[in-house]
Amino acid sequence: QVQLVESGGGLVPSGGSLRLTCAASGRIQRNYLMGWFRQASGKEREFVAAIKWSDLYASYDDSVKGRFTISRDNAKNTVYLQMDNLKPEDTAVYYCAARSLGSRSTRPYEYDFWGQGTQVSVSS
């Protein structure tokens, strides 16, 4: 099993920054794909960014390109999401997820393990 714990959410004004952290433990494998998703109230869960432990691959949804940066620390089994120039439409619960197959995916149902989520709220 894999356990994922997110932290770092909060309330910030528009234009502000936050850094989310996802601490992974358990049977985490280096071929896993690690993703960040978000779900706003009344909306479906959507892809934000993904990264692999084992190479330089990283991908972003167009809505966050240039503002968000995903990174990882293999020694700490931790994935980060640096969020800059936040906008009110970024308000959502942010989830960390792991995909055991490792191949690229933006679909939530293709991820096997999920954290409990952390709330990000951006005021206008």
What is the tens place of the pLDDT at every residue in 24-82? 999 989 899 999 999 999 999 999 999 999 888 899 999 999 999 999 999 999 999 99
How far, in Å, are 14, 40, 86 from residue 124 at the CA level? 5, 16, 10
* Weakest-pLDDT range from 54-58, 90-94, 97-101: 54-58
Separation between Cα atoms, residue 3 and residue 40, nearest integer Å? 23
Separation between Cα atoms, residue 99 and residue 110, nearest integer Å? 7
Tokens of 79: 């994935």
Of the candidates 80, 87, 92, the one whose C-alpha atom is nearest the C-alpha of residue 120 is 92
Of the candidates 102, 97, 82, 95, the one whose C-alpha atom is nearest the C-alpha of residue 35 is 97
Average pLDDT, the chain: 96
Q: What is the CA radius of gyration of the chain?
A: 13
